[in-house]
């Protein structure tokens, strides 16, 4: 948020905020530190990822329309590698299912998401569910594969949504500028005529 209370822009104040989390217990128990994968630890966090992370850590459902991803670092806080990866996997599963429900509902209301993309998402979520229901789910190698599939699903959905919703359409922007100019000229004309009478 800027000094004037603005948000949602591209200034440094809006894009670079500090996230400070405190826990009386170590976030990464000493026994876990040798096993932490660099790919799961992040130096920076997107603001859209704070809501799903805090929701799950507080035991609440992720808000329906949130398309962020959980912050993996904060789910690797159990005493053993297996329990940490299991906890992270359950969080990622909840995150993927929530994003899938949102995308599926959105695709029914709009044709923005191409059919082949929805098919790809459906196949990915079916694979994720199948892995979760497997008898091997609580094996470390299997959990790594599950985490990779979930992360891929969330990255793919984020990339697709950004390409759909963050578009600048020059022709529509030009039309808006022309309309604004036209309305401004009409208002100016009306004000001039009123002041002359």
Mean pLDDT, the chain, whole residue set: 84
Read off the pLDDT band of 141 (50, 70, 90): confident
Dist. CA 66–CA 193, nearest whole Å: 51
Half-sphere CA count of 171, side-chain side, radius 13 A: 0
Give backbone dihedrals phi and psi of 19, rounded to 5 degrees, phi first: -115, 115
The answer to whether residues 59 and 52 touch, using CB atoms and an 8 Å cutoff, is no
DSSP characters for the chain? --TTS--SS-SHHHH--------SS-SS-TTTGGG--GGG--S---GGGHHHHHHHHTT-PPPTT------GGGG--SSSHHHHHHHHHHHHHHHHHHHHHHHHHHHHH-S-S-HHHHHHHHHHHHHHHHHHTSTTTTSHHHHHHHHHHHHHHHHHHHHHHHHHHS---HHHHHHHHHHHHHHHHHHHHHHHHHHH-
pLDDT score for 8: 62
- The yes-or-no verdict on residue 26 having pLDDT over 70 is no
- The yes-or-no verdict on residue 61 having pLDDT over 60 is yes
Read off the pLDDT band of 64 (50, 70, 90): confident
- The yes-or-no verdict on residue 128 having pLDDT over 70 is yes
Query: Which tokens hold the place of 155?
Result: 């990255």
The answer to whether residues 104 and 118 touch, using CB atoms and an 8 Å cutoff, is yes
Give tens-digit pLDDT for 79-118.
777 888 898 999 999 999 999 999 999 999 988 899 999 9
pLDDT score for 32: 57
The C-alpha torsion from 133 through 53 and 21 to 37, rounded to 10°, is 50
Give backbone dihedrals phi and psi of 36, rounded to 5 degrees, phi first: -70, 130
Chain centroid to CA 178: how far?
35
Read off the pLDDT band of 185 (50, 70, 90): very high
User: Which range is most confident: 15-19, 32-36, 44-48, 188-192?
Assistant: 188-192
- The yes-or-no verdict on residue 39 having pLDDT over 60 is no
pLDDT score for 2: 65
pTM for the whole thing? 0.72
- The yes-or-no verdict on residue 73 having pLDDT over 60 is yes
Nearest Cα neighbor of 88 from 132, 122, 123 is 132
């Amino acid at each position: 948020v800027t000094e004037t209370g603005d948000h949602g822009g591209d200034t440094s104040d809006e894009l670079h905020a500090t996230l400070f989390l405190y826990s009386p217990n170590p976030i990464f128990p000493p026994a876990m530190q040798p096993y932490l994968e660099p790919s799961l630890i992040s130096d920076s966090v997107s603001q859209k990822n704070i809501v799903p992370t805090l929701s799950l850590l507080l035991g609440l459902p992720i808000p329906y329309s949130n398309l962020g991803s959980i912050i993996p670092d904060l789910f690797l806080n159990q005493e053993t590698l297996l329990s940490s990866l299991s906890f992270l996997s359950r969080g990622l599963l909840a995150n993927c299912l929530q994003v899938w429900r949102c995308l599926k509902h959105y695709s029914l209301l709009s044709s923005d998401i191409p059919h082949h993309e929805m098919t790809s998402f459906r196949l990915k979520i079916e694979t994720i569910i199948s892995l979760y229901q497997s008898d091997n789910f609580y094996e470390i190698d299997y959990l790594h594969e599950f985490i990779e599939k979930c992360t891929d699903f969330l990255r793919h959905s984020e990339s697709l949504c950004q390409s759909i919703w963050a578009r600048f359409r020059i022709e529509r922007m030009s039309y808006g500028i022309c309309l604004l100019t036209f309305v401004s000229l009409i208002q100016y004309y009306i004000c001039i005529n009123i002041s002359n009478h």
